[in-house]
Amino acid sequence: MKERKLILIADNINIMNPVIDKALRDMNPQPIRELAVKIKEAGAEVIDINPGPLRKNGEKKMSFLINTVQEAVSLRLSLDTPNPRAMEVGLDVCKQTPIINGFSLEPKKLEEILPLAVKFSTDIVGFLLGPDGKVPISSDQRLSVAVSLMEEVKRVGIPPERVIIDPIIVPVFWDEGTRHARDVLSCIRLLPEVLDFQVKTVAGLSNLTSGIACREEILSLEEAYLAMLAEAGLNVVLINMFRKRTVRTAIISDAIMNCRILSWTGVKA
């Protein structure tokens, strides 16, 4: 098996962040620049740009947001919006080839988002969601969706190595939330065998603790589950880069799983 490195994608630039929401409404670049610099200093390798659906002035706002981040840092970007036109404009203004985040078996995503990965020759995240947008419950159901997803990828001519599978983490306090968490791990382990190649995987860790207000509970859950994800073979994780304990867990887990020399300089809280 190839040596694996756990890539850290910052999920801090999203429309649910009040700083980003206000800056985008005011078209004020300064708070965005400052946040991007802090994200880079925290150790992120990629920044996820998630402005939401962008129902009004979507193309203008997406372009503004991306250009503002690119003025501040030179990190690769991941673009996350269901608005296909805003996504296309965003892809066009990126200085480095970004990641499209992402598509699923939902007809609208297959018709409007997936072809953009062909047009711009980008990596693309594939969400393991049903055609109705619902999250599968079991590992077997997730694996079945993954097979169908890769058939769509093959149909449009995207090389399989450019796909990053997201098995979908759900809030742990959902009904059957712990079962979902367990089956995500099983899915990550089994995907290479089922798809017959060393597929890359990504997980949005912050989803696990959605709805939890206590910081200590959030950090404890993220630390425990991130270590499990790393052991299962996860390649990429979207995390809040300002949760230093979570970032430290990612660095330590990666060092152990890949037999790297552990430098405490990079893991101090």
CATH code at position 201: 3.20.20.20
φ, ψ for residue 102, nearest 5 deg: -170, -150
Q: Look up the pTM and report it.
A: 0.94
**Span 10-62, pLDDT tens digits:** 999 999 999 999 999 999 999 999 999 999 999 999 999 999 999 889 999 99
Number of folded domains that form the chain:
1
Q: Is residue 38 part of a domain?
A: yes
- At residue 2, the pLDDT reads 46
49 bridge partner residues = 13, 79
Distance CA 172, CA 185 (A): 13
User: Does 267 fall in a domain?
Assistant: no
Q: Does 226 fall in a domain?
A: yes
Q: Each residue of 221-232: pLDDT tens digit?
A: 999 999 999 999
Residue 231 falls inside a structural domain:
yes
**pLDDT score, position 260:** 76
Peptide bond connecting 157 to the previous residue in cis, omega within 30 degrees of 0: no
Q: Which stretches of the chain drop beneath a pLDDT of 70?
A: 1-4, 263-269
Kindly state whether residue 269 falls inside one of the protein's structural domains.
no
The domain of 47 spans 7-259
For residue 173, the surrounding DSSP H or E stretch is: none
d(CA 115, CA 95): 20
